[in-house]
Chain A
Amino acid sequence: MGSDGGDGTGGASDDALRISIIIDPGSAMNPYITNNARWDWLVDLVHDKLLFPSPFAGPEPALATDVTQVDDLTWQATIRDGVEWHDGTAFSVEDVAFSLRYYRDGPHSRNAHHANQVPSFEDVSVLDDETVEVETSYPTPTLAEITFADMPVLPEHIFSEVDDPTNYGDLAVGTGPYEIVEYAEGERLRFEATGDWFYGDTVVDEIVAEIIPDPAVTFTALKTGEIDSTVRPVPPETLGDLRGDDEIEVVEATQLQGVELRLNFSKLPFREHEFRWAVSRAIDIQSVVDIVMLGEAIPGTEGFPHPRSPWTAPDLELPHRPAEARAKLDELGYVDRDDDGVRESEDGDPLSFELTVPSNEPQYIRAGEIVADQLGDFGFDITVRTTDPGTVRSFYGRLDAYDMYISSSNFHLAADPDQFLMNHRGGPNLLWNVSPGQGLLGDHDADPEDLAYPEYERLQQAYFDATTKEEMLDIYHELNRLHNSQPVAIPLWYPLDHLAYRPDSYDRWAESPGYGIAHKWSFTEVEDRGDAVTKEFY
């Protein structure tokens, strides 16, 4: 069924650029349904933000031609004149104000917590025909660079009429360079260039996102020419084959993703900061990368969050320190009391844990086995359990369900400061629940008071109090260092993101951090790209 109202047979022309995606985005680019960061590049084909391209490059003027900070709590954005929505309605300052308020007050979405938590909009008002003013609850010196570069602006004339945006299935209407003209569920999405994008000229007339879940079929289709590129990074074992193919080009462009070993901070002994330090220093991360990724990745020894994010502290490290790790475990009272090769706590509880890995990621499974072996040498008894990926994803809100698991994070989860903060508050999420009694804590066995993290809370409060970007960055880097001194997410590797394409079909690809090579600036005239891209591949 296609949201074009037809039978989904409306096809792409032969010269359309076909890019495979991994999973169905679920909607015709409604940001309330297609709300995972992995689809941001597709949503961005249709929608624009106030600033471009993302929190990781730029910022370039977009729907806002200028953004200025009036005082610690107040920002004003000057809105671009003469822009139209794809349905011909004039874009206005009211659309911007509506969007910011809607994200803050409307139904829950991926962008909601960027408007009502970190950061938090106190008030949004229209000053005149071209100026919108945002007052925040606390100083937010990165409001322009992060928040305004992250949230797509919505058409008020459509969303104000929609009862429930999470059920709105029509073809999206945006201001972006491409109009979505077909969504055939489970098959493909088709986008056509509007030809009048305010930012620059597009050089690709038609883009088709083909949905291909299987990695082997994806790269077969690339080799046969059925697709021209894919957002799926080339796995290390396929690299040699594709590099040896004259018709295919392989480039390196970061999607700012990471693979991590997550420890359940609500449980003892992982609740102990020094215990987590010992675990992180006992694992030989470099050897995991050498074996599993054949060396084709940035090792997690460079710390968490992503070392290539412009926001991350430059001096992070997570070194392998086997002797110190053993000494720390001894010092904490975890010793082998019954000579069975497994350490026990002073209460006699063995260091026996389950390490869960998703069944659809062979590299994670192998990494889990290696980590289990390595920790076995330190007196841990780790059982690797393979389960369906949905279960692993559900651990996000299930502190009672796991001891340790391996999963991945994308740029939105791990590469910008606001999300890093968000991940430490408000619920049983990835990194911590910083404040007992603050929000939901889900199912777990811990007394909320035991999860107090005063050192972190102090830094978090300082972050919220910071009035300049420099001050905020210093505090954020402190938070990074604190995390790496006692990580709840131990980074194993950051994929180098080898991305492949057929240069005969299209060769003007460029990197924009977080997106890799598939994003609207890759399809824009080279001279119009500005600072939206960080590397060109032609």
Chain B
Amino acid sequence: MQRWSHRRLGRRTLEYGLTFLAAVTINFLLPYLAPGDPLLYVIGPEATELGPAERQAELARYGLDEPLHVQYWDYLTGALRGDLGTSLTYGQPVSEVLLARLPWTLLLVGLALLIAVVLGVVFGATSAWHEGDRTDMGLLTAIVVAMSAPGFWVAMLLIAVFAAWLGWFPSYGLRSGTPGATAFQSAADIVWHLVLPVATLTFVRLGSIYLIARNAVLSTLGEDFLVLSRAKGLSDRAVLYRHAVANSMLPVYTRFTLQVGVAIGGAVVIETVFAYPGIGRVIFEGAIDRDYPLLQGAFLVLTVTVIGANLVADLTYPFIDPRTAADGTEVSR
């Protein structure tokens, strides 16, 4: 187990706590910072049709007639209890709407990131091992071109080829929901629907992982311990994957943890194109309908995810590379 110094743990907790508080505060202030009547952002354009009495009733209903600091405290304590308000679009608690969608986004993003990391590391290590030759140049060119393609374009291309032309995969949705399907058939149906969106997201995310892996492995390949490994007579594969790649993982891991947070928000386009019912779609529809409570909740989820991913990265670095315990903390495994 890793042992953190109390001072470092306390400092980190305080930093992330303050970041979270800042994010929650900005989220709370959004309707007030935006021009116009805050009620517009809470109940929508119909706020303009209310008479004075109706308006006062709506203000009271949402607590908007309270002083700002009281509203802020209510919002803060509500957020900590998981009460993020009520969605205008769905008429349900925002937390319920988001919780229903989050697993599907995690499934999509998780699968895509996992595949992107595996492929990115394999391609990156292969490129580095063959630095400067045709394999390296071919991979580098292909992946840089691929990572330049916008996600929606890749999605449309895959749909045109694999859904419309070949008919191998569905063009939209999470599942077809065949009546009487067994649990296995339902799971297989979801996987079948996931192929194109996962492939698109993998395609979009692959490039950066590949480049980081390639550079990290390249810088490791010149290290003395690899010369020693070769001198011991280890196979190329063992030298590359057991020693070079294993010692190059820190930047890839950093990238991965950051992408976990960012990718949830970044799935907006993919989820919208594929009509996939995740958090990204909620953000898209919330923006279209100006459903501020829902957007605020979704942003909070994204913020927590990004902060959480950073925290996980921060806490686990010393396991991957003990040198990162920079304050002299002992790290044992």
User: Which residues of chain A have a CB within 8 Å of any CB of chain B?
Assistant: 1, 8-14, 23-24, 26-27, 30, 32-33, 108, 110, 112-113, 166-169, 184-188, 210-214, 216-217, 220-221, 223-224, 226, 360, 388-390, 393-394, 396-398, 400-401, 426-429, 439-440, 442-443
Flag if B290 contacts A428 (CB, 8 Å). Answer: no
> Chain B 118-158 against A: per-residue CB contact (8 Å), 1 yes, 0 no?
00000000000000000000000000000000000000100
What is the bound-complex CA distance between A13 and B289, given in angstroms?
32
> Chain B 260-295 against A: per-residue CB contact (8 Å), 1 yes, 0 no?
000000000000111111100110110111100000
Flag if A11 contacts B179 (CB, 8 Å). Answer: yes
A24 proximity list for chain B (CB < 8 A): 89-90, 285
Q: Which of B82-107 contact A (CB under 8 A)?
A: 86-87, 89-92, 96-97, 100-101
A185 CB contact (under 8 Å) in B46, B51, B97, B173 = B97
A23 CB contact (under 8 Å) in B87, B167, B177, B288 = B288
What secondary structure prevails in chain A residues at the interface with B?
loop
What is the bound-complex CA distance between A23 and B148, given in angstroms?
30
Nearest-neighbour CB distance to chain B for A410, whole angstroms, equals: 14
Nearest-neighbour CB distance to chain A for B67, whole angstroms, equals: 22
B37 CB contact (under 8 Å) in A9, A221, A397 = A397
In the complex, whether B49 has a CB less than 8 A from a CB of chain A is yes
Flag if A224 contacts B281 (CB, 8 Å). Answer: no
Flag if B36 contacts A33 (CB, 8 Å). Answer: no
Q: Which of A10, A11, A33 has most chain B Cβ within 10 Å?
A: A11
> Chain B 158-196 against A: per-residue CB contact (8 Å), 1 yes, 0 no?
011001100100111111111101000010000000000
Flag if B45 contacts A213 (CB, 8 Å). Answer: no
Known: A167-B91, A428-B48. A12 touches B177 (CB 8 A): yes
Flag if B58 contacts A27 (CB, 8 Å). Answer: no
B45 CB contact (under 8 Å) in A185, A188, A397 = A397
Flag if A442 contacts B48 (CB, 8 Å). Answer: yes
B172 CB contact (under 8 Å) in A12, A226, A389 = A226
In the complex, whether B314 has a CB less than 8 A from a CB of chain A is no
What is the bound-complex CA distance between A45 and B89, given in angstroms?
20
A217 CB contact (under 8 Å) in B35, B92, B274, B282 = B274
Known: A213-B275, A217-B172. A224 touches B167 (CB 8 A): yes
Flag if B36 contacts A224 (CB, 8 Å). Answer: no
Known: A185-B100, A427-B48. A220 touches B159 (CB 8 A): yes
Flag if B171 contacts A220 (CB, 8 Å). Answer: yes
A9 proximity list for chain B (CB < 8 A): 175, 177, 181, 186
Flag if B171 contacts A211 (CB, 8 Å). Answer: no
Flag if A214 contacts B273 (CB, 8 Å). Answer: yes
In the complex, whether B40 has a CB less than 8 A from a CB of chain A is yes
Q: Which residue of A lies closest to B43 (CB)?
A: A108
Q: Which residue of B lies closest to A218 (CB)?
A: B172
List the count of A-B residue pairs having beta carbons below 8 Å apart: 168
A440 proximity list for chain B (CB < 8 A): 48, 50, 52, 55
A439 CB contact (under 8 Å) in B43, B51, B92 = B51
What is the bound-complex CA distance between A62 and B193, given in angstroms?
42
In the complex, whether B47 has a CB less than 8 A from a CB of chain A is yes
Nearest-neighbour CB distance to chain B for A26, whole angstroms, equals: 4
A427 proximity list for chain B (CB < 8 A): 48-50
A-B contact pairs, 17 of them (CB 8 A): A8-B177, A9-B186, A24-B89, A26-B91, A27-B90, A108-B43, A108-B50, A167-B92, A187-B277, A188-B173, A212-B172, A214-B272, A214-B275, A226-B170, A393-B289, A394-B290, A427-B48
Flag if B173 contacts A224 (CB, 8 Å). Answer: no
Flag if B45 contacts A396 (CB, 8 Å). Answer: yes
In the complex, whether B15 has a CB less than 8 A from a CB of chain A is no
B173 proximity list for chain A (CB < 8 A): 187-188, 210, 212
B86 CB contact (under 8 Å) in A13, A167, A214, A400 = A167
Nearest-neighbour CB distance to chain A for B160, whole angstroms, equals: 7
Flag if B164 contacts A169 (CB, 8 Å). Answer: no
Flag if A443 contacts B164 (CB, 8 Å). Answer: no
Known: A186-B282, A390-B290. A217 touches B171 (CB 8 A): yes
In the complex, whether B236 has a CB less than 8 A from a CB of chain A is no
Flag if A108 contacts B288 (CB, 8 Å). Answer: no
In the complex, whether B321 has a CB less than 8 A from a CB of chain A is no
Q: Which of A184, A214, A226 has most chain B Cβ within 10 Å?
A: A214
Q: Which residue of B lies closest to A429 (CB)?
A: B48
Q: Which of B33-89 contact A (CB under 8 A)?
A: 35-37, 40, 43, 45-52, 54-55, 58, 86-87, 89
What is the bound-complex CA distance between A394 and B290, given in angstroms?
8
